[in-house]
Amino acid sequence: MEDLDGQNTITNVRGVFHRSGATNGSACTNSGNDCYVVTSCGLVNDTDPNRKVYSCRMDLQYYSASTDASGQYPSNNWVAYVEVTDGTATGTNNALTKEMNSVLSLTIPGNIEFGNKNIGDVTTAANNVEMSIAQAGNVNADVEVSMASALTCTSGSMARDRFKWAVTDVGFSSGSSTVMTASPVDTNLDVGYGTDGSPSPSKFLYFNMSVPSGIGGTCSGITTLSAISH
């Protein structure tokens, strides 16, 4: 920035990066969701005696509100506001705008472990597998579930329809449990947006199984879970 009566008369630069709809705009209160304030940015003299170079570092949170077309606030954008204070005159300011991109990301555990089971066992709400899936981006997200093939056991195999998923804590026999399919199905899990108080809200996905006869040993297979926009 430039001040025509000399770089030394520039006393402070305040930087704010905020969502255009944030409460109080450029006078907003610090929040990882929609407002980042640096009250005194770094100032370095330029070789030009009328100029100083400023830097306002802001470490953005992954849950910063998205404002692009598929974001949380598509009609908003983000405003980079810079206010310069001079020892002898009222501060001046300038602002630039930018969209905050949507980042689709969930933390999904790597394993579904049923543990030891006997032939004929059918899981219930009391012993199903409860998988916690947490927000890791800034998009309201669902999970798609699929199982490409049967599970292979030490002897025999377990067909896909021996496994079900649910978004509520119910057993295999419940009407709210859905049989695994080869093609991905939207669970509509609805993992919400993070906030300062709860940066990674999570939801549970429940897995149930019914153990057939004619198998033995250890069974394993691949269930695919993918994050999609809600």
Tokens standing for residue 52: 């100083």
Nearest distance, CB of residue 88 and Ca ion, angstroms: 6
108 binds Ca ion (CB under 5 A): no
9 binds Ca ion (CB under 5 A): yes
Nearer of residues 31 and 208 to Ca ion, judged by Cβ: 208
Handedness of CA 10, 12, 15, 16 (dihedral sign): negative
Q: Which residues contact 44 (CB under 8 A, 6 or more apart)?
A: 52, 53, 54, 55
Q: Which residues contact 26 (CB under 8 A, 6 or more apart)?
A: 16, 18, 79, 81, 83, 93, 95
3 binds Ca ion (CB under 5 A): yes
Stretch that binds Ca ion, among 50-58, 105-113, 120-128, 147-155 (CB under 5 A): 120-128
5 binds Ca ion (CB under 5 A): yes
Nearer of residues 130 and 149 to Ca ion, judged by Cβ: 130
Nearer of residues 74 and 216 to Ca ion, judged by Cβ: 74
Pick one of 142, 147, 172, 203: the residue that binds Ca ion (CB under 5 A).
142
Q: What does DSSP assign to residue 52?
A: E
Residues of span 74-93 touching Ca ion by CB under 5 A: 77, 86
Stretch that binds Ca ion, among 133-141, 149-157, 188-196, 213-221 (CB under 5 A): 188-196
Pick one of 67, 102, 135, 138: the residue that binds Ca ion (CB under 5 A).
67
144 binds Ca ion (CB under 5 A): no
Of 131, 123, 126, 142, the residue nearest 185 (C-alpha):
142
Pick one of 40, 188, 198, 220: the residue that binds Ca ion (CB under 5 A).
188
Q: What share of the chain is helix, strand, coil (3-state, %, to 5)?
A: 5, 40, 55
Of 46, 26, 49, the residue nearest 36 (C-alpha):
26
DSSP 71-93: SS-TT--EEEEEEEEESSS--EE
Stretch that binds Ca ion, among 18-26, 109-117, 163-171, 213-221 (CB under 5 A): 163-171
DSSP 93-151: EEEEEEPPPP---EE--S-----S--TT-B--TTTSEEEEEEE-SSS-EEEEEEE-SPE
103 binds Ca ion (CB under 5 A): no
Nearer of residues 77 and 152 to Ca ion, judged by Cβ: 77
Nearest distance, CB of residue 137 and Ca ion, angstroms: 16
Residues binding Ca ion: number (CB under 5 A): 12
**Site residues (vs Ca ion, CB under 5 A):** 3, 5, 9, 67, 77, 86, 125, 128, 142, 169, 186, 188
